[in-house]
A and B are shown apart, each in its own frame.
Chain A
């Protein structure tokens, strides 16, 4: 069955370190998204991609970067981790070309990141 996986599931790191969270989907979806989930804020969009070599900033992109070199993967990098980036991170994907607004998004299981 097609799926979307994230690794690691849990990560503890120190302030200032570079961290990369992996996201891999086997749906062959064009669109991929990274969100962070924080109490009282729901899910907020960090970055998104509508295809290979395409990346776009979301509403909370400062301190994060992504790259899309193939259809299946969208790794999220924290350039210099800060305590404010302690959160649960979710990757998602959807099918339509150019990110159709009616699409269902399929979510990974999440990565819990703690920055000390």
Chain B
């Protein structure tokens, strides 16, 4: 069985400050890892994903996440946040070699303060 833990339910941060949203996972097999973002009153959309290769993955809007196998983590970071980054962020995991059954974390609400 696989699981995802997002310990922080809410993260307030001032505009232009750095932010880290934490995600830890557990799985007995190799995994694929995802970060999805949900803007208010919208569905989720993919922010970035790790499949294989380089452990550092980047999104087009300045977010990055690093896969750390030894710590079973996939934390999301941005060096300088904008008001438009205010949203809820979900970490998700699937297990390689099987059908796509995605396990989502409980989400972290990022509130960017002007």
Do chains A and B interact in one complex? yes
- On whether the beta carbons of B46 and A108 are closer than 8 Å, the reply is no
Question: Which residue of the partner chain B has the closest CB to A44?
Answer: B104
Which of A41, A45, A48, A107 is B44 in contact with, Cβ under 8 Å? A107
Q: How large is the interface on B (under 10, 10 to 19, 20 to 34, 35 or more residues)?
A: 20 to 34
- With a cutoff of 8 Å between Cβ atoms, the chain A residues found around residue B32 in the complex are 101-102
- With a cutoff of 8 Å between Cβ atoms, the chain A residues found around residue B49 in the complex are 102, 104
- With a cutoff of 8 Å between Cβ atoms, the chain A residues found around residue B44 in the complex are 43, 90, 92, 105, 107
Interface of B is mostly: loop
- On whether the beta carbons of B99 and A109 are closer than 8 Å, the reply is no
Do A109 and B94 form a contact, CB below 8 Å, given A102-B32, A103-B100?
no
- With a cutoff of 8 Å between Cβ atoms, the chain B residues found around residue A8 in the complex are none
- With a cutoff of 8 Å between Cβ atoms, the chain A residues found around residue B46 in the complex are 104-105
Query: With an 8 A cutoff between CB atoms, is A71 at the interface?
Result: no
Query: With an 8 A cutoff between CB atoms, is A63 at the interface?
Result: no
Minimal beta-carbon separation of A31 from chain B (angstroms) = 7
Which of B42, B43, B51, B90 is A42 in contact with, Cβ under 8 Å? B90
- With a cutoff of 8 Å between Cβ atoms, the chain B residues found around residue A48 in the complex are 101
Do A110 and B43 form a contact, CB below 8 Å, given A101-B97, A101-B100?
yes
Interface CB pairs A-B, < 8 A, 21: A4-B43, A31-B100, A42-B90, A43-B44, A43-B104, A50-B99, A58-B101, A92-B43, A96-B100, A101-B95, A101-B98, A101-B99, A101-B100, A102-B51, A102-B94, A104-B46, A107-B36, A107-B43, A108-B43, A109-B42, A110-B42
